[in-house]
Chains A and B, each alone.
Chain A
Amino acid sequence: MGKNKLSRFAEMESFQRVFQPEVDFNSPDNTLKGNWHTNVFKNNNPIVLEVGCGRGEYTVNLAQRYPNKNFIGIDIKGARMWRGAKTANEQNILNAAFLRTRMELVEKFFGSNEVSEIWITFPDPQPRESKENRRLISPMFINRYKNFLKAVPSFTLKQTTNNFSITHTKW
């Protein structure tokens, strides 16, 4: 792994609202689950996720625009996430947080009715049919999201193709 990545990972450890827990499929639910409002944001405002947040452009910008909502960027790519996390830390954006984990494990981090809205912007298309379950907009993932979304959750999706079918998502 490059020195640059390692230094970014290390720097992220010092950011207050960045979480990089070591979790796998056999791990119990994380202590964050059901506790984002009380332990992280210290308020009861709605939580919005940016799934596959990359550099966290939406997490940071929306958090700045909507101080009465909480935003959490989730991705496994820490070197990219560092950019948004660093901005949020430097600008002391208290309603933005970042969670570095695999999306397959997301249910270990959010309790029932804990999330109000999900944004998905330019997800990895995973074009091979054999990897269709890895697509963040596949029914498998949507069903996972349902476990922690409120009764009438909303999704916002941006990408470069108008075919949102699980079998034809592409760049």
Chain B
Amino acid sequence: MILSSDLLAILVTAALAVVTLSPLVLLGLLAKDWKSGKLW
């Protein structure tokens, strides 16, 4: 049972999308914590 090119593309694209968005999520959380004085 061989993984098709389409499925490989979907898997990797989805993973890449999360990896690309993660820094934005982290920076957003940082800004939120900073504003509320809950950074550390």
To the question of whether A and B form a pair in one complex, the answer is: no
Interface residues of A (CB under 8 A from B): none
